[in-house]
Amino acid sequence: MARKEILKAESKNFNFHYADGTHALKDINIPLYEKKITALIGPSGCGKSTFLRSFNRMHDLYAGNKYDGEIILHPDDTNILDKKVDPIEVRMRISMVFQKPNPFPKSIYENVAYGLRVRGEHNKRLLDDKVEEALKGASLWNEVKDRLQDLAYNLSGGQQQRLCIARALATDPEIMLFDEPTSALDPIATVNIEELMSELKKKLTILIVTHNMQQAARISDYTAYMYLGEMIEFDETDTIFTKPSKKATEDYITGKFG
């Protein structure tokens, strides 16, 4: 790697067991570099979503799931998997955009403001400013500025997903997680979201799971190829897609497998 990158987070010997005993992730070591997009690719069931969801402790919502190893968040070197670290603290620093757009059945405004409301923010002027800033950041502002009180589900699928990005953005997260954010969207909405992510990485670090290899190639700086719960190869995206060092990676990327 030629350039010197700043490390934002890294998983160290990370293992994950689901409540039913499935060993979903095995000794995963992946770094996330600051203000870069890291993509996770691999066939269905390889554990990439499980890995992503560990970054904001989503697995804590369901009893019996078990984390081993560490995910260290820099610069404060907090192990976000530590039982002593409250998952809510982690979620306040690392936000997430889901596969299917999932706005609350509330107004556009309330959707974006919600993250600030749970942080106890009541100042109307500040909320207004933050909502506008987040909607602009998600390039949705021009489409919705005249109908902020409309219900969110009146928006199209692509707009809903950008609304969810605005919701995740409004709280100034350090890292944003995207779990196949465009798999439920049409090609035009997909391009919008991809352009948006390239814009967002100027401000924050992004980890994305995608089924779409062209998408990974287009937008990410680093790519990790995962298979059956293991990380097979991690490198700069250009390297992974042009001269991967492992045969398995090459087979997957060239479509011989998967």
Partner 1 sequence: MSKIIGHEDNINAIRALIKKHKKNDRIFSYIGLFVIGSLAIALLVLFLDLVIDGYPKMNLEFFSNFPSRKPEGAGILSAWVGSALVLIVTFFVAVPMGVASGIYLEEYAKKGWFADLIEINVANLAGVPSIIYGLLALGLFVYEFGLGQSILTAGLTLSLLMLPIVIVATREAIRAIPVHIREAAYAVGATKWQVTLHHVLQYAMGGVLTGIIIGMARAIGETAPVITIGALTFIAFLPPTPVSDVAPFINFAWLEAGFTVLPIQMFNWISRPEHAFHINAAATGAVIIILTLLMNGIAIKLRYSIRKKIKW
Q: State the first-to-last Cα distance of the chain, in angstroms, to the nearest integer.
A: 28
Q: For residue 62, give the nearest of 95, 100, 18, 28 by alpha carbon.
A: 18
Distance CA 200, CA 196 (A): 6
Q: Should residue 140 be labelled a site residue for partner 1 when binding is judged by CB under 8 A?
A: no
With CB under 8 A as the contact rule, the residue among 15, 102, 183, 239 that binds partner 1 is: 102
Burial (CB < 10 A; 0-12, 13-18, 19+), residue 211, is middle
The dihedral sign for the CA sequence 4, 9, 12, 15:
negative
Q: Should residue 184 be labelled a site residue for partner 1 when binding is judged by CB under 8 A?
A: no
Q: Which stretch binds partner 1 (CB under 8 A): 74-82, 92-100, 139-147, 242-250?
A: 92-100
Residue type, 40: L
Residue type, 91: R
Q: Should residue 162 be labelled a site residue for partner 1 when binding is judged by CB under 8 A?
A: no
Q: Which stretch binds partner 1 (CB under 8 A): 31-39, 65-73, 114-122, 136-144?
A: 114-122
Q: Which stretch binds partner 1 (CB under 8 A): 3-11, 85-93, 218-226, 246-254?
A: 85-93
111 contacts 103 by C-beta, under 8 angstroms:
yes
With CB under 8 A as the contact rule, the residue among 118, 129, 156, 228 that binds partner 1 is: 118
Give residues 2-61 in contact with partner 1 (rule: CB under 8 A). 56, 58, 61
Q: Which stretch binds partner 1 (CB under 8 A): 28-36, 71-79, 94-102, 220-228?
A: 94-102
CA 116 to chain centre: 19
Total residue count of the chain as it appears in this document: 258
The dihedral sign for the CA sequence 249, 80, 35, 136:
positive
Q: How far is the CB of 176 from partner 1 (least distance, A)?
A: 11
Q: Should residue 63 be labelled a site residue for partner 1 when binding is judged by CB under 8 A?
A: yes
Burial (CB < 10 A; 0-12, 13-18, 19+), residue 105, is exposed
Q: How far is the CB of 154 from partner 1 (least distance, A)?
A: 9
Pattern 186-225, partner 1, x by CB under 8 A: ----------------------------------------
Q: Which residues bind partner 1 (CB under 8 A)?
A: 56, 58, 61, 63, 88, 91-92, 95-96, 98, 100, 102-105, 114-115, 117-119, 151, 153, 164, 167-168, 171
